[in-house]
């Protein structure tokens, strides 16, 4: 069985949207969950968050950033191509309830996984304050979709080309310092951003949830690759998460484990790029 790519487009430089026909996954998909895919029999498995799903059409949409060999290969595929494996939905769904006022923060490609949660939390009756950030205006994702599901939308760019000149954390801090009653914060993005958000919300005692992107191999709790430390307990992000209480996560361990295969990842990308060019190095 293979999984057809129905749509593939580059949304902003290096960030791509891909919609795949996978009716069995779409039937059960919920916000907060992810899939694991393999492009072909020589490919590695990689996890990607379900950014959107359509149960009637039987489709799953992912948004991914080109970082290394597999995401580069994925970015070269087009509508009509097939993926070999497409497993999911994996991980626990996000907890959707009427909590009151929820701040949702998406950094970079993290806006994509934040979107289905914002939509579901809005439908559940919450007041949604969204904060989306990127390095520059040209890299901002899904501003229009986020605006549709938000009561308030804040934009930040590192270089000031759109919205607040600075980081998403500046806005969270401002909102909390103003005394706004916030019942929950959900932050998805680079670990360094999620750690900074946790540092800001901790003194205000606001429940803060992050989605951990640790290295995953099987995605079903068997290999241990995705182990993280949460409240001094070892957890497997794929089956115990991917969402955890940000105030309990050991982000230093997460970041060091994310970097352990960097030499091999660099070599794999160089070899892939070389093979594509047909050079003999
Ligand atoms: P590589 O050069 O192999 O790796 C680049 C970096 O990505 C590594 O240094 C490492 O930190 C990380 N990485 C590498 N392999 C894996 C792996 N098997 N599992 C997790 N991280 C890895 N990225 C997106 O762009 N969009 C998403 O929606 C998204 N959702 C994710 C959901 C979950 C639950 C997890 C765990 C990760 C998610 N990621 C997402 C990260 C994505 O899986 C990696 O960027 C991708 O695997 C990199 O593969 P590569 O071969 O292109 O890069
Ligand atoms: Fe293997 Fe989580 S990816 S245990
Ligand atoms: Mg890789």
Q: Which of 90, 123, 148 is the last residue of a domain?
A: 90
Counting from 1 in the atom list of ligand 2, the atom nearest the Cα of 236 is 2
CA–centroid distance, residue 268 to ligand 2 (Å)? 22
CA–centroid distance, residue 107 to ligand 2 (Å)? 24
For residues 84 and 172, membership in a common domain is answered with no
For residues 80 and 112, membership in a common domain is answered with no
CA of 67, nearest ligand number: 1
Distance CA 121, CA 66 (A): 29
Read off the pLDDT of residues 3-57 as tens digits, 9 standing for 90 and up: 999 999 999 999 999 999 999 999 999 999 999 999 999 999 999 999 999 999 9
pLDDT score recorded for residue 281:
61
pLDDT score recorded for residue 109:
93
Counting from 1 in the atom list of ligand 2, the atom nearest the Cα of 239 is 2
For residues 108 and 177, membership in a common domain is answered with yes
Distance CA 85, CA 93 (A): 21
pLDDT score recorded for residue 2:
75
For residues 115 and 254, membership in a common domain is answered with yes
Residue nearest to atom 40 of ligand 1 (CA): 48
- Pocket of ligand 1, beta carbon within 6 A: 34, 46-49, 62-65, 67-71, 109, 112-113, 213-216, 242, 258-259, 262, 265, 269
Residue nearest to atom 13 of ligand 1 (CA): 215
pLDDT score recorded for residue 140:
94
CA–centroid distance, residue 7 to ligand 3 (Å)? 23
Contacts of 67 (CB under 8 A, 6+ apart): none
Say how many domains are in the chain: 2
State pTM to two decimals: 0.95
CA of 238, nearest ligand number: 2
CA–centroid distance, residue 26 to ligand 2 (Å)? 22
For residues 220 and 146, membership in a common domain is answered with yes
pLDDT score recorded for residue 83:
97
pLDDT score recorded for residue 249:
98
Cis before 191 (ω within 30): no
Helix (H) or strand (E) holding 267: helix 262-277
- All residue ranges of the chain with pLDDT < 70 are 1, 280-281
Q: Could you tell me if residue 280 is inside a domain?
A: no
For residues 248 and 215, membership in a common domain is answered with yes
CA of 265, nearest ligand number: 1
Residue 215: give the domain boundaries. 101-258
Strand partners, 188: 106
Neighbour count for residue 253 (Cβ, 10 Å): 13
Distance CA 65, CA 13 (A): 9
- Asked if residue 225 has its Cβ within 6 Å of ligand 2, the reply is yes
Residue nearest to atom 4 of ligand 2 (CA): 221
For residues 243 and 161, membership in a common domain is answered with yes
Which pair of structure tokens corresponds to residue 161?
């080309």
Q: Could you tell me if residue 275 is inside a domain?
A: no
For residues 118 and 253, membership in a common domain is answered with yes
Which of 45, 48, 217 best tests ligand 2's pocket when mutated (most atoms within 8 Å of CB)?
217
CA–centroid distance, residue 273 to ligand 1 (Å)? 18
pLDDT score recorded for residue 201:
97
Read off the pLDDT of residues 100-114 as tens digits, 9 standing for 90 and up: 999 999 999 999 999
For residues 126 and 212, membership in a common domain is answered with yes
For residues 58 and 131, membership in a common domain is answered with no
């Amino acid at each position: 069985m293979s999984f057809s790519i129905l749509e593939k487009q580059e949304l902003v430089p290096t960030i791509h949207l891909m919609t795949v026909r996978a009716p069995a996954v779409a039937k059960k998909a919920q916000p907060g969950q992810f899939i694991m895919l393999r492009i072909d029999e020589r490919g590695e498995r990689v996890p990607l968050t379900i950014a959107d799903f359509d149960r009637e059409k039987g489709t799953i949409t992912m948004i991914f950033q080109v970082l290394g060999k597999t995401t580069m290969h994925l970015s070269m595929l087009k509508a009509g191509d097939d993926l070999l494996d497409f497993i999911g939905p994996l991980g626990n769904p996000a907890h959707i309830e009427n909590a009151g006022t929820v701040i949702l923060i998406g950094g970079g490609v993290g806006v994509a996984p934040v979107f289905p949660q914002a939509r579901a939390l809005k439908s559940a009756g919450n007041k949604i304050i969204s904060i989306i950030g990127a390095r520059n205006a040209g890299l901002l994702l899904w501003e229009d979709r986020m605006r549709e599901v938000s009561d308030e939308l804040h934009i930040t760019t590192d270089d000031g080309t759109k919205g607040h000149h600075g980081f998403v954390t500046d806005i969270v801090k401002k909102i909390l310092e103003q005394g706004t009653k916030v019942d929950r914060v959900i932050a998805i993005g680079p670990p360094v951003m999620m750690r900074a958000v946790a540092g800001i919300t901790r003194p205000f005692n606001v429940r803060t949830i992050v989605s951990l992107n640790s290295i995953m191999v099987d995605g079903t709790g068997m290999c241990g690759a995705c182990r993280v430390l949460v409240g001094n307990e070892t957890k497997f992000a794929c089956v115990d998460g991917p969402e955890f209480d940000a105030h309990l996560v050991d982000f230093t361990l997460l970041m060091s484990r994310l970097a352990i295969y960097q030499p091999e990842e660099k070599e794999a990308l160089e070899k892939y790029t070389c093979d594509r060019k047909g050079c003999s190095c």
